[in-house]
Chains A and B, each alone.
Chain A
Amino acid sequence: MIKVNGRDREWEKDLTVDLLLKRCKYTFPLIMVKINGKYVPKEKYKDTLIMDGDDVQAIHSIAGG
């Protein structure tokens, strides 16, 4: 189990940041990702693995409206 924006989510093997964003349908371009409080640059989304128990923040800019 991992946390994504404070909510529980099933963990899966080989889960990268890129894959998690796809699973969540987080398509908005203005997102900042942190894993356990550590910032992950966009260019590393495909290579950065999320481990079981990690606390992930995928913060969207407010924009819109």
Chain B
Amino acid sequence: MFKENKSLKEKEQGHRLLVSFEFEPGKVEKGYTDRRLYINLSENKIEEKPIDLQVKETFTGGRGYGIWYLWDAVSSKTKWNDPENEIIFCTGPICGVTQYSGTGKTHVASISPETGTVNDNNVGGYFAPFLKFSGWDLLEIQGKAKQNVIIFIDGNKGKVSIKEIPGMNSDTYLLIEKLTEKYADDEKDRRNISIISSGRGAENTNLGILNVSWYDVRRKHVRVKQAGRGGTGSVFRDKKILAIVIKYSGVNANSNNVASPELIRKAGERLTKEILTLDHVQNGMREIGTVNLLDHMQNYECLPIHNFKFGSHPDAFKVNSKVWHQRMTQKQAGDSCWIGCALRCSHGVDNFELSTGPLKGEKVLVDGPEYETTAGFAGNCGCFDPDFVLEVSFYCDNYGLDTIGVSTTLAFLMECYENNIINKEITGGLELKFGNTKDALELIHQMAEGRGFGKIAGLGIRQIKKILVEKYGADVKFLQDIGMECKGMEFSEYVTKESLAQQGGYGIANKGPQHDESWLIFMDQINNQIPTFEDKAEALHYFPLFRTWFSIVGLCKLPWNDIEPSDNKQKYHGMEAAKVPEHVENYCWLFEGVTGKHITLEELIQQSEKVHNFQRLFNLRMGFGTREHDAVPYRAVGPVTAEEYESRKELYDQQLREIINFDIKNKTIEEKMKVLRAYREEQYQKLCDAVYKRRGWDSNGVPTLENIKKLKIDFPEIVELVKKYKS
């Protein structure tokens, strides 16, 4: 009776069923279902499609599948907001294993509004495991709906429906509470719902994210994690998807129908024991999550301050680990974003009262804040106020905005404001000085609502630079130096001036300057373990490939090296220790345990190498992917301004004297900066040479024909593409 009334109410509200589809519920065999769910929103079409054996053998799963089927769907001319662009949600074979930490990741592939080329994201929450256990390795969405739609997948009943839902607010916080209640049979059933949503910020900017939910049974609250970079949420809202709801009950210890449970149990027990006995003396992920890094980045001069000008600030203590330990609710079992994760780093601040915006006065649960959000808004924007960090963190998630993209863009605008490149006339009265929390918040609300100066800010740094040069006559060279973007994506929150390897880690990364491809600051800048170009190139070969593997099999990176065996560095040395060999062994056990295929570290790296090179070739197809697109702004390499030089004068003077053999006596700062810049820029180019060579790419950064043959990705269209660049 209740459901009938609800159905009647829906009709009155204009809810309309557009299409429905029935399927045989899930059959997972050794981690795979070997089929994908295809939806075309323009045509109201839902279909089951197979995953070809050759695709499986070549690309393994997860991101590998995602970028292959995206390649198949788009052409070199496809723009992010064309109907043929797809948004693909991927699972990997290890995804959903409940005996090992960090196996709940959803991997997402799409053409990015920021970069114009292939983008990949990974995010926690329950969506991917539920998708796979419902019977699908992938969910592939193409086309555009005319009005807002909700896609509902009932994994137990084997039904998919698409409903038109006009007039509903897309912001995540209230939407997912309503939808979880609507689609769950009762309170207990809420744990069986996972929702992908975004918000109005994704509609009105290029910086949109996806939120992926799970139900926190302890708090009785829906929680979210974010697929953050490159504007995937903007693609989602451009397709007029309000939410994707999946419902699945029946997760058990062998939902993946694995080949060898014993191997999985062995790996899981070893890691869980380490986490429970060592986390509190290592990184404290179970207490405050990734924000533990903030204190260390401050101490090692790597915390971005005032648009990456400096690496530390006297006020950083106001947002340090101690503060977050007090603010975050401790010992919450619900802080695991997938079942069985002992690292449970998804912390939250409960009952935070909002002071601005459409939910002013509401007491809300704020996810995190994570390191990146805190470093970006507190350090880079100079707003060292934990309440401000919580307020922006909540609103960015709620609006579907990328906290990294927004904070790096805001920091850039603040530097422009302080250099009189923009002023109150241009910003509509906003005083965008570093540290102005009030106007920073106002700008974020404007970005989300697509009004005022927020319309320009929401375009991201690359497009803002163009506007400031063309419309306001700004100095193009200065903006190029301080605008922290590469390939159109904003930098994540680490200062790289003293780590050449990390400059390459950002610049040469396939999707843009995001640290999930490599993070080599300690190994390079602090430990001095990779001093030569060849050493750095080896690290920039191995670690991006190793990290790529997580995204093709469905894993989270954190349990790899944010916890390590107590004797890791005594047993192993140099780069070997950094690989955490016992955890690598766990991954080989896990892969074999699930799929039944024995795998060595070398084979694991080969699996990644196919996907990583294919993604580089995808960039090439979209008109990127060559050396010029790996260039980074000089702010990532060295001091742009005299103020920056002065802040580390002793270090820079020493480098000029001892490394460059430049006589600094009687030289002006400008003269010294010029020589330092020429040297550092040359070093970056030499690094690119070494990395390209190690990766089997030519001097323009294009994978060689020999390499793509060796990797068995020499499909005719790939060969044709590479040959075009050779000529």
Contacts and interface: CB of A to CB of B under 8 A. Distances in A.
Interface stretch (B126-134, B177-185, B387-395, B518-526): B518-526
Nearest to B522: A60
B295 A5 contact: no
Contact of A63 (B295, B528, B562, B570): B562
Nearest to A32: B569
A32 B295 contact: no
Interface string B503-532: 000000000000110111111001111010
B528 A60 contact: no
Nearest to A7: B528
A61 B568 contact: yes
Interface in B285-330: 293, 295-296, 299-300
For chain A, the bracket of interface size reads 20 to 34
A62 B299 contact: no
B711 interface: no
A4 to B, nearest CB: 9
A27 B296 CA distance: 6
Given A5-B526, A7-B528, A28-B522, A63 B283 contact: yes
Interface in A15-65: 25-30, 32, 39, 57-65
Contacts of A61: 522, 561, 564, 568-569, 577-578
A30 B562 CA distance: 9
Contacts, number: 71
Nearest to A42: B281
A30 B564 contact: yes
B528 A6 contact: yes
B76 interface: no
Nearest to B658: A8
B577 A59 contact: yes
A62 B520 contact: yes
Contacts of A5: 526-529
A57 B283 CA distance: 21
Contacts of B515: 64-65
Contacts of B577: 32, 59, 61
Interface of A: 5-7, 25-30, 32, 39, 57-65
Interface of B: 281-283, 293, 295-296, 299-300, 494, 515-516, 518-523, 526-529, 531, 543, 557, 561-562, 564, 568-570, 577-578
Given A6-B528, A59-B529, A62-B522, 16 more contacts: A27-B295, A27-B296, A29-B281, A29-B282, A30-B282, A32-B577, A59-B569, A59-B577, A61-B522, A61-B564, A61-B569, A62-B561, A64-B296, A64-B515, A65-B518, A65-B557
Which 10 A-B pairs rank lowest in CB-CB distance, beginning with the nearest? Answer: A65-B519, A32-B569, A65-B515, A25-B299, A60-B522, A5-B528, A62-B578, A6-B528, A27-B299, A28-B296
